[in-house]
Amino acid sequence: MHYLAIQGKQKLSGSVSISGAKNAALPLLALTLLSSRKLTITNIPEVADVKTLLQLLTNLGATSTCNNNTVEIDSTTVNSACANYDIVRKMRASILTLGPLLARFGHCEVSLPGGCAIGQRPIDLHLKALEQMGAVIEIKQGYVVAKAPKGLKGATIIFDKVTVTGSENIIMAAALAHGSSKLVNVAKEPEVVQVCEILADAGVKIEGIGTSQLIIAGSGGKLLDIPDFKVIPDRIEAGTYLCAGAITKSKITLTNVNPKHLEAVTLKLEQMGFKIDETRDTLTIHPGEKQLPSDIETSEYPGFPTDLQAQFMALCTQAKGTSIIDERLFENRFMHVSELSRMGANIKLKGHSATVEGKAKLNAADVMATDLRASSALILAALVADGTTKIHRIYHLDRGYENLEGKFSKLGAQIKRLEE
């Protein structure tokens, strides 16, 4: 197994190019199931989760190639509607094939993803919405077995909670349904918006794109003439590199980024004492004179993203004073706390709230990555720790960060991938 060895206390400088968004690429690859033509998708991040979904689609009968961040994919040849456990268990987001498969074939079997490190993560809202669209759903031997022999019907769906992949699943299902659907309390994340925009480019009539209420006119089961497209930049990867600049007190520039998608994040950094310059597609962070503590509450977009909570916690360990971090989306997303504490961080947990006392002197240690974003918090802590930190189980990082060591090395970090 591989691990990362990071020698701390190095200044970073220069620029880093941000990859396409993993969380956009995944629903967009699932969306190819609704396409009547072969598609070319650019700015695809070459990360493990994308490879897993491509493997799942190939397993269903699609053909694809992936080179230089471009995927050519023909999902018109898909001839199976069964997403099996062996692939789904590797990645929860495989559930994104549920809506498109059911809408296209009138039946499907998709393995239940099960729990994960950051909590239970049910899919009840996906299932309830599909039932409202006329699907009959049973759970059999760990599989969601769904049937809608006459196709899905348009319906009014009010999501009880804002769910990102739930919204994407149902938007894709509604695009192929018979009749019109009204979706209320839809997620407004940029990744959800991109799914809607591409459907609109394919001729689907959608009102309310970018708002929490959508009206979608279904195609009545007809596959869609989806144009080739480019994946939006990864706002979570971008936020992670901004934190790297902040924690190491370095000036770094991010290119190929959409600053509008990061407003809640850059605002927090400014409140913490960092100066940020932006152009249409770059962000530059400057070292802060004083690093101030922060109060952070995660929430749905456009609020502060839960996927950057762990990274900001690492940053708060280096601010002078008390920071409070409230995790509002996932019940168990504090797995990084014990590892950060092993490096010398002073963090107290109470329910969904963490109190971080800074500034803590961090020391290198052997630490364990527990989930994708928790692992990046450990990298940030390692960048300012005394000595060489070893981060184990980095397969979590490979799920979502493209060319991580390459990008950090180019910025001047002393980072190596080694074999245990």
Residues of the shown chain interacting with ligand UD1 in the complex, contacts defined by CB under 6 A: 23, 26, 93, 121-126, 161, 163-166, 191, 306-307, 329-330
Q: What share of the chain is helix, strand, coil (3-state, %, to 5)?
A: 35, 30, 35
Closest of 301, 268, 295, 75 to residue 188, by C-alpha? 301
Output 26 or 224, the one with its CB closest to ligand UD1.
26
Residue 126 or 390 having the CB closest to ligand UD1: 126
Residue 220 in tokens: 């009545």
Closest approach of ligand UD1 to the CB of residue 306, in Å: 5
* Pair 189, 166: CB distance under 8 Å: no
Query: What minimum distance in Å lies between the beta carbon of 67 and ligand UD1?
Result: 23
CA atoms within 13 A on the CB side of 64: 30
For the bound state, the minimum distance from the C-beta of residue 167 to ligand UD1, rounded and expressed in Å, comes to 8
Catalytic option among 66, 82, 108, 116: 116
Tokens of 299: 């929430």
Q: Which of 27, 96, 23, 25 is nearest to 66 (CA)?
A: 25
Contacts of 54 (CB under 8 A, 6+ apart): 29, 64, 66, 71, 73
Q: Is 397 exposed, middle or buried (0-12, 13-18, 19+ CB in 10 A)?
A: buried
Q: What are phi and psi of 139, to 5 degrees?
A: -105, 115
| Measured CA distances, 20 to 6, 17, 23, 390 (Å) | 25, 10, 9, 28
CA distance 238 to 247: 14
Q: How far is the CB of 22 from ligand UD1 (least distance, A)?
A: 7
Nearest residue (CB) to ligand UD1, 171 versus 343: 171
Q: Which is nearer to ligand UD1, 144 or 411 (CB)?
A: 144
Whichever of 64 and 94 has its CB closer to ligand UD1, that residue is 94
Q: How far apart are CA 367 and CA 61, in angstroms?
A: 40
Q: How far is the CB of 26 from ligand UD1 (least distance, A)?
A: 5
Nearer to ligand UD1, 21 or 252 (CB): 21
- Minimum Å gap between C-beta 121 and ligand UD1 is 5
Whether 82 is catalytic is no
Residue nearer to ligand UD1 on the CB measure, 191 or 398: 191
CB of 191 to ligand UD1, least distance (A): 6
How do 353-358 and 321-326 pair as beta strands? antiparallel
In degrees and rounded to multiples of 5, residue 346 shows phi and psi of -110, 95
- Maximum alpha-carbon separation in the chain: 64
Alpha helices (runs of H) in 335-398, residue ranges in sequence order: 335-342, 372-384, 395-398
List active site positions.
116
